[in-house]
Amino acid sequence: MGEVHLETHRGVARRRGARARRRRDLGRAGVIDSVAPASRILEIRAHLAAHPEPSWREHGTAAYLADLLRAAGLDPQPFADFPGFTVDVGPGTPVVGLRGDLDALAHDTPAGTVLAHSCGHDANLAIVTETVLRLAALGDALPHGVRAIFQPAEEQGNGAASVAALGVADGLQTLFGVHLRPGSELPAPRFAPAISHGACCFVRGQIAGSDHHGARPHQGVNAIEVAAEFAGMVAALRLDPQVPASAKFTELRAGSGNLNVIPGSASFGIDLRAQDNAAMTRLREGVTQIGRALALRHGVEITLAEEDHVPAAIVGDAAEAALAAAIVRVAGATALAPRAVTSGSDDFHCYTLHRPTLQAAMLGVGADVTPGLHDPAMHYDLSRLDPAAEVLVAACIAPR
Ligand SMILES: [Zn+2]
């Protein structure tokens, strides 16, 4: 009798990231304390852009930023088991939080593996760091405590969940994130008071059986045919057409090279996307049911492992309103765009998943990202970083 197993499997992603080649030049830059804030933010960003590090290995990035904040009289608290830290500024227990994402992406190019901040996390980090430095400079004028969380591994979708599990955001009422947006979603120089990300989930599957002779197909199960049935059934999963969603195979491996052998085993990968979390739940359940059905039908063992699951945006109305008010105060009403909607995902929403009462929203920064996020040649309008920090400062100091 066939059977199907479903388990979460974050370790796979972590090991995959660890394989990415690491740049050797991770030396710390000198502390930047004698320049105007508008050029300081660009110097921070330039250092980060020149020293990208892969997910779960952002030690140099975290050390560089912690040194900057320590030089401003702050006391960064590193995480014990992975790169990253929190830092508090202002009086009392922090009630407002800021999230920065430390990791870069690895790209396979003809010249080999290249690391790059092709998602613009160098900009996000420079904006959050500069915001903290400006809040620290306010001294007694800062009305309440603010905590910045510099987390690893956003790109693998499991950094935020690991940091949230430490409880470092549990005392916060509000959490702000920030991310650059391409012009197609948010034209520069406008800001969005929230980013409506979609959910995504990756599933790895194994079909386990024995190879058999090409002349005797009746003596076993052809794993390619099982996988093909699986792919067709996944693509045919039906959901409410009002909610954008997709499910598809993105990997299939089977066969030994001998065309006279019918492969009994195969491995495959599935990418699931949905614009809300209810639709994602239905997709995940659908994949599990298909696995059970095919295991029974063919009498093979099918193992399914969820590699990463990133929830869709859970936007807090009060947090979104606070960012909208800050955008208008800093840049005027014409700079305020509607909520940015994207099918991309961000693990920022894991903080709200961990604690549903948290008011969270991400500031979208229109920065003419060209040609697009996750393109190794990606570039953007650097002049948008300083106003973005001003918006976050205004949102952080607004009365609660
Ligand atoms: Zn990103």
Q: Quick: pLDDT tens for 209-254.
A: 999 999 999 999 999 999 999 999 999 999 999 999 999 999 999 9
138-142, 176-180, 192-196, 288-292: which has the minimum mean pLDDT? Answer: 138-142
Query: 3-state class of 376 per DSSP?
Result: coil
Band the pLDDT of 28: cuts 50, 70, 90. Answer: very low
Q: Exposed/middle/buried for 228, CB within 10 Å: 0-12, 13-18, 19+?
A: middle
113 and 107 Cβ atoms separated by less than 8 Å: yes
| pLDDT value at 116 more than 90 | yes
Ligand 1 centre and the CA of 151: distance in Å?
Answer: 12
Examine the pLDDT at 7 and tell me if it is beyond 60: no
Separation of CA 121 and ligand 1 centre (Å):
6
Tokens of 377: 């040649």
* pLDDT value, residue 55: 96
Using the mean position of ligand 1's atoms as its centre, give its distance from the Cα of residue 336 in Å. Answer: 21
Give me ligand 1 centre to Cα 120, in Å: 6
Task: Tell me the CA–centroid distance for residue 155 and ligand 1, in Å.
Answer: 7
Residue carrying structure tokens 């948290």: 358
Where are any strands of DSSP class E within the chain? 4-8, 77-78, 85-89, 94-101, 105-109, 112-116, 145-151, 174-182, 191-192, 195-196, 199-208, 212-213, 245-254, 261-262, 266-274, 301-310, 340-341, 359-369
Is residue 158 scored above 70 in pLDDT?
yes
Could you give phi then psi for residue 52, rounded to 5 degrees?
-70, 145
* Residue 219 pLDDT: 94
**Ligand 1 centre from 339 Cα, in Å?**
17
Between these two residues, 319 and 310, which has the higher pLDDT value?
Answer: 319
pLDDT confidence of residue 35: 59
**Is pLDDT above 50 for 351?**
yes
Quote the DSSP letter at residue 384.
G
Interval between CA 226 and ligand 1 midpoint (Å) = 36
Does the pLDDT at position 22 exceed 70? Answer: no
Distance CA 97, CA 94 (A): 7
Largest interatomic CA distance in the chain: 83
* Cα–ligand 1 centroid distance for 234 (angstroms): 28
d(CA 221, CA 343): 38
- Give the β-pairing of 94-101 and 145-151: parallel
Mean pLDDT of 178-197: 95
- pLDDT given at position 16: 38
- Separation of alpha carbons 112 and 21, rounded Å: 9
Distance 400 CA to ligand 1 centre (A): 28
Ligand 1 mean position, distance from CA 54 (Å):
13
Q: How far, in Å, from the CA of 119 to the mean position of ligand 1?
A: 5
Taking the C-alpha atoms of residue 192 and residue 335, their distance in angstroms, rounded to an integer, is: 9
Question: For 72-141, where are the alpha helices, taking DSSP H only?
Answer: 121-137
Question: For residue 152, which amino acid is it?
Answer: P
Find the 258 Cα to ligand 1 centroid distance in Å.
Answer: 42
Give which of 380, 297, 395 is closest to 126, Cα–Cα: 380
Using the mean position of ligand 1's atoms as its centre, give its distance from the Cα of residue 316 in Å. Answer: 20
C-alpha 199 to ligand 1 mean position (Å): 14
Give yes or no for a cis peptide into 54 (omega within 30° of 0). Answer: no
Give the distance (Å) from ligand 1 centre to CA of residue 204: 23
pLDDT at 25: 31
> End-to-end CA distance of the chain, in Å?
60
Q: How many CB atoms lie within 10 A of CB 64?
A: 21
Distance 105 CA to ligand 1 centre (A): 9
Cα(187)–Cα(168) distance, rounded to whole angstroms?
A: 34
Alpha-carbon span 277 to 313, nearest angstrom: 8
More confident residue, 111 or 131: 131
Would the pLDDT of 3 be above 80? no
Mean pLDDT for the stretch of residues 93-117: 94
The rounded Å distance from CA 200 to ligand 1 centre is 14
Q: Is residue 4 predicted with pLDDT exceeding 70?
A: no
Cis peptide before 189 (omega within 30 of 0): yes
What is the CA(228)–ligand 1 centre distance, in A?
33
- Cα–Cα nearest to 221, from 253, 263, 189: 263
Using alpha carbons, select from 391, 358, 325, 362 the residue that is nearest to residue 174. 358
Beta bridge partners of residue 98, listed in sequence order: 148, 176
| CA 217–ligand 1 middle distance (angstroms) | 48
Distance from the CA of 369 to the center of ligand 1, in angstroms? Answer: 12
Instruction: Note the pLDDT of residue 247.
Output: 97
pLDDT at position 57: 97
Sign of the CA dihedral 329, 332, 338, 340? Answer: negative
- pLDDT for 306 beyond 50: yes
pLDDT of 295 above 50: yes
| Close Cβ partners of 222 (under 8 Å, ≥ 6 residues apart) | 262, 263, 264
Q: What is the pLDDT of residues 31-88, one digit of tens each?
A: 444 456 679 999 999 999 999 999 999 999 999 999 999 999 999 999 999 999 999 9
CA dihedral (374, 133, 325, 274) positive or negative: positive
Check residue 333 and report its DSSP letter: G
- Report how far ligand 1's centroid is from the alpha carbon of 249 (Å): 24
Helix, strand, coil % in the chain, rounded to nearest 5: 35, 25, 35
Tell me how far the alpha carbon of residue 251 lies from the centroid of ligand 1, in angstroms: 23
For residue 229, the CA-to-ligand 1 centroid distance in Å is 34
Structure tokens at 183: 């012009």
- Using the mean position of ligand 1's atoms as its centre, give its distance from the Cα of residue 63 in Å: 20
Peptide bond into 263 cis (omega under 30): no
Lowest mean pLDDT among 30-44, 75-89, 146-160, 270-284: 30-44
- Whether the pLDDT of residue 386 is over 90: the answer is yes
Query: How many whole angstroms from 168 Cα to the centroid of ligand 1?
Result: 21
What mean pLDDT is predicted for residues 258-281? 96
Assign 194 to helix, strand or coil: coil
Task: Give the C-alpha separation, 65 to 85, whole Å.
Answer: 10
The rounded Å distance from CA 397 to ligand 1 centre is 25
Does residue 15 surpass a pLDDT of 60?
no
